[in-house]
Amino acid sequence: MISWYLAQASSYAADVDNLILLIGIIVGVWFVVAELVLFGLIFKFRAREGVRALYVAGEDPKEKRWVSYPHHAVLVFDIIIVVAALRVWNDVKIWSPQPDEQVRIIAQQWAWTFVHAGPDGKLDTPDDIRTVEDLNVQLDRTYQFELHSKDVLHSFSVPVFRLKQDAVPGRAILGWFKPTRVGTFDVQCAEICGIGHGLMPGRIHIRTREQHLAWMAGAARPTLASAEPAATAPALPTPALARAVTGGTR
Ligand SMILES: [Cu+2]
């Protein structure tokens, strides 16, 4: 239902949205009921000429019901919400399906580095593809991600997946996702991680199998070459950058 106006692009995005909708409906309905009762009573027992105010101590069982019935209702709805939330939490964070592929995600101040398995589908082999800020995945494929941080706490957040996972220095945190919609979407850091926090956006590109293979073929060689550290060579401005800096057009 929520997907009409908020894009969903993972197998569990709808479950998270439905949970939030359920909480919204339960809280919303009772909020309206409580306000109607409150304002109804204020109106009914408003000040009137010649009528003295009643002192109500709440000791009469009839009066106590105004407190005890809502109290029990809150407990019942709490249990409903907790059960629904634990089911989603279990599916997203505790249980994890058999992955088709792994991807490594490295957060640092202030960029994302992604290590893709490359054509052989395995990490830590020579055909791995490293990118900065662009995560490339294939539609309907289950990915296990391995999340690292090089420095401080970050949080890997993909709003269209309804996924958010903290990255903790010194730990490799595992999680999973299965993209279900083709497109390019935002990746963000959801944990204040320093002055450049707002400058560490990323993008996730979800492609069909054919498009993904085409990306891999194009990305494999140049990215491997550019992944070498540039420290040995002086950083020369690219022609495009030089033109931009000097304002030249040729
Ligand atoms: Cu960050």
pLDDT band at residue 237 under the 50/70/90 scheme: very low
What is the chain's mean pLDDT, rounded? 86
**Order of strands across the sheet that contains 163-167:** 134-138, 202-207, 183-189, 154-158, 163-167
Q: Please give the DSSP secondary-structure letter assigned to residue 146.
A: E
- What 3 state SS string does 9-71 have? CECCHHHHHHHHHHHHHHHHHHHHHHHHHHHHHHHHCCCCCCCCCCCCCCCCHHHHHHHHHHH
**Amino acid (one-letter) located at 161:** F
Q: How far is the CA of 188 from the centre of ligand 1 (A)?
A: 8
Q: How far is the CA of 169 from the centre of ligand 1 (A)?
A: 12
Compute the chain's Rg from CA coordinates: 27
* Helical (H) or strand (E) element with 106: strand 101-108
Whole-prediction pTM: 0.76
Tell me if 176 sits within 8 A of 142, measured CB to CB. yes
pLDDT band at residue 67 under the 50/70/90 scheme: confident
The pLDDT value recorded for residue 57 is 83
Beta bridge partners of 112: 107
101-229 placed in CATH 2.60.40.420:
yes
Structure tokens at 180: 């279900």
The pLDDT value recorded for residue 231 is 41
Report, as an integer, the average pLDDT of 164-178. 95
The pLDDT value recorded for residue 174 is 95
Report, as an integer, the average pLDDT of 68-77. 93
The pLDDT value recorded for residue 242 is 37
Q: How far is the CA of 111 from the centre of ligand 1 (A)?
A: 7
Mapped onto helix, strand or coil, the DSSP state of residue 73 is helix
Report, as an integer, the average pLDDT of 47-51. 89
Beta bridge partners of 176: 144
Cα 175–96–148 angle (5° rounding)? 15
Q: How far is the CA of 201 from the centre of ligand 1 (A)?
A: 9
Q: How far is the CA of 197 from the centre of ligand 1 (A)?
A: 5
Q: How far is the CA of 174 from the centre of ligand 1 (A)?
A: 18
Residue 75 has pLDDT above 80, yes or no: yes
The domain segmentation of the chain, as residue ranges, is 2-94, 101-229
Report, as an integer, the average pLDDT of 133-159. 95
d(CA 132, CA 135): 8
